[in-house]
A and B are shown apart, each in its own frame.
Chain A
């Protein structure tokens, strides 16, 4: 198409373009441009998904942070801690201060925790009913007292972002929280008040968040080549990201691009692909409250009929890089209850037919509703793959594209929720409890995380034991037993483990995604912009 155009004309137009684009020619700052499919929530007490985590870890600091290259946690805002029975005492890092210049005190930790629990959204459920009290022993010592032994507590603290309470109290606003008014809910959704390496320069939840370095940051070291400005953009179309990347106007793609697009970018050159495995299972949630899937044999039939091989084939980007890795049970690799020795399941239509024969329902009379999340185009294929395979069992299968906002609402009512939805569920803390308990405990209200609606006494008992047992070996055994029980009950299909793939513009590197000894066990925590490196 360009062949018929004279070089002179092309040169002319590019001069015209340069003249009209004053910004591009003079950009000398180190800028990092990324995108995410969801809209960003910057209030750490409200955030739930990937983008929210990325924003929280860059704007705020929790007391402890997931360890790098291994399991467990590492000191972060707290330099040290002691555990004595039900009492956890943390010493804050010397000289820690917020972006405002205010020192970080134990009082800020107490205020942030009370705010989180009062608002009852986001990560609050991790602590619900487990904490008796929290108090400031002195300015740099904070003490949590638990109601009963709770092994996941330390790990859960990675989700407690500490807010500058002195600053926030100037903006409390009106609301239902007594003397705390609105708990600065509106203000913190539009501004940052943390001690993280970056602060908010601009924020529009529809469009983008712009971050700049925090001048008063004194935490974990900042890379000398770290970006001086980060633009985190929302809801870009895949084709737009693709074109921006090849024009060199974007640095890091979101993880939601279809494999073909990543492949095309890779073949074009100019980018390198990096992955962020860890703590995320791609589950086909089976609705255990709706016929015919309230019969375990029908669920088993679907698990056996599921085409695991083609799924992985569809996720392949290039030789050796795929957006998924095989999953052998309900728990992702590296977590208690996962079994690296175990072979991942494969499709077995004959066994599926046998299981179906045991099921009390006739597949011809019970059509299956399968929903897929409209925002992630690649999931349509998985849904259609299920439609194709489950039809072979004799089910009539209806596939519906459903926007995420609508799915979160549908799943609150098991009677009308779809029979099967593919949902990615991430461990929110480096502890198996944050995944297993939220997904399978019958004590929690129905949400998208628990949309199998499993109610099994044995599972509930193991989940409670796993929380209160503090001995690591005993815990490992409990979660192994839980995994076996869940394999038998088949409340979901363990389709594959997510292995998010990002395309990075050459010249930009994210060492936390590139070096095995720098990886974090759970997703989002590796996207510390202070560790990114940008060439001049």
Chain B
């Protein structure tokens, strides 16, 4: 399976309008998250302090997206929600991806009982819907931000294991790998220096797509009351808590829901674009 050269990939990426839209959306979300302190109209509202005399107000010039049930500016909380979601996704992926990749490399390259053990373990995790296992784990741990991230991380690595395993299996018999083995390179060297770079496009694409899915997963946990705790501005809990006031105070959940959509959409379009450009199998 040959990857295209990066310049060809770049040209292909540029010619796809949806990929460009994705890139713009991602840049927008990341930018807003990074500069939330400067952009947010009421930075104090990120915490528990609100204005109890201005609760549940409809969108207005002072509060573009209205205020929530304790009088906090919804727009401000969405901007900080972007930051929290992106940080969480980055943490979950930063832990689960290396673990998954390492296990996938080992299973694919070493074979034998190592392969059997790792891949069956992967099957076990993949047989339980991620949300259900994350819920089960959250049932046993106190509902905090860290635990929610841990639960999702525990669910996420098998996908990378399976992805890398498949790539390795198809690469292991390629000439350059055999050549490296013949000149006496250690298995570690072959795995990390020869095979891993060829998995990179697939991993990169999957990472991009996964940012969106991790955000969805954490917000689903929050919706069930098992995720991030108030007053942390989490988009999923904002949707869930606001839904109780539907349809009268619609702005409480519709705007955060749109925010999740925009964020996930951006990363999905970008990931899709990368996949087509690299011709990567994910």
A interface residues with partner B (beta carbon < 8 Å): 237-239, 242-243, 258, 260-261, 264, 310, 313-314, 374, 377, 380-381, 384-385, 387-388, 391, 397, 399-403
Contacts and interface: CB of A to CB of B under 8 A. Distances in A.
B29 to A, nearest CB: 27
A94 B48 CA distance: 61
B244 A238 contact: yes
A491 B244 CA distance: 33
A314 B52 contact: yes
A264 B248 contact: yes
B245 interface: yes
A260 B245 contact: yes
B231 interface: yes
Contacts of B49: 388, 391
B146 to A, nearest CB: 13
A377 B244 contact: yes
22 contacts: A237-B244, A238-B245, A239-B244, A239-B245, A242-B246, A242-B248, A258-B245, A260-B56, A260-B248, A261-B244, A261-B245, A313-B53, A381-B55, A381-B69, A381-B70, A385-B52, A385-B70, A387-B231, A391-B48, A399-B48, A399-B231, A402-B143
Interface of B: 48-50, 52-53, 55-56, 69-70, 142-143, 225, 229-231, 241, 243-249
A384 B55 contact: no
Given A239-B245, A381-B70, A399-B230, 11 more contacts: A258-B245, A260-B248, A261-B245, A264-B248, A310-B52, A314-B55, A384-B230, A385-B70, A388-B48, A399-B231, A400-B142
A237 B243 contact: yes
B230 A313 contact: no
Contacts of B229: 399-401
Given A258-B69, A385-B52, A380 B230 contact: yes
A465 to B, nearest CB: 42
Contact of A384 (B48, B56, B243, B245): B48
A28 B210 CA distance: 54
Contacts of B55: 314, 381
A388 B225 contact: no
A496 to B, nearest CB: 15
Contacts of B142: 400
A408 to B, nearest CB: 15
Nearest to A402: B143
A387 B246 contact: no
B241 A377 contact: yes
A211 B249 CA distance: 35
Given A381-B70, A385-B52, A261 B230 contact: no
Contacts, number: 70
A387 B230 CA distance: 11
Contacts of B69: 258, 260, 377, 380-381
Contact of A239 (B70, B143, B243): B243
Given A239-B243, A380-B230, A384-B50, A261 B248 contact: yes
A380 B242 CA distance: 13
Q: With a 10 A CB-CB cut-off, give which of A238, A384, A402 has the most chain B CB atoms.
A: A384
Nearest to A314: B52
Nearest to A241: B244
A385 B247 CA distance: 25
Contacts of B225: 374, 401, 403
The 10 A-B pairs with the shortest beta carbon distances in the complex, nearest first, are A239-B246, A264-B248, A238-B244, A387-B48, A384-B48, A310-B52, A377-B244, A384-B70, A388-B49, A374-B225
Contacts of A388: 48-50
Nearest to B56: A260
A260 B57 CA distance: 11
A498 B54 CA distance: 24
Given A314-B55, A380-B69, A401 B245 contact: no
A247 to B, nearest CB: 12
Contacts of B230: 380, 384, 399, 401
A239 B56 CA distance: 15
Nearest to A265: B248
A133 B146 CA distance: 56
A115 to B, nearest CB: 33
Contacts of A380: 69-70, 230, 241
Contacts of B231: 384, 387, 399
Nearest to B225: A374
B141 to A, nearest CB: 11
B6 to A, nearest CB: 48
B48 A401 contact: no
A374 B55 CA distance: 20
Contacts of A381: 52, 55, 69-70
Nearest to B244: A238
A242 B48 CA distance: 27
B249 A260 contact: yes
A258 B70 CA distance: 12
Given A384-B70, A387-B48, A399-B231, A258 B248 contact: no
B74 to A, nearest CB: 15
Contacts of A403: 225
A399 B143 CA distance: 12
A238 to B, nearest CB: 4
B219 to A, nearest CB: 15
A300 B248 CA distance: 39
B53 to A, nearest CB: 8
A397 B230 CA distance: 12
Nearest to A246: B247
Nearest to B253: A239
A45 B161 CA distance: 54
A31 B245 CA distance: 27
A453 B69 CA distance: 32
A111 to B, nearest CB: 39
A262 B179 CA distance: 75
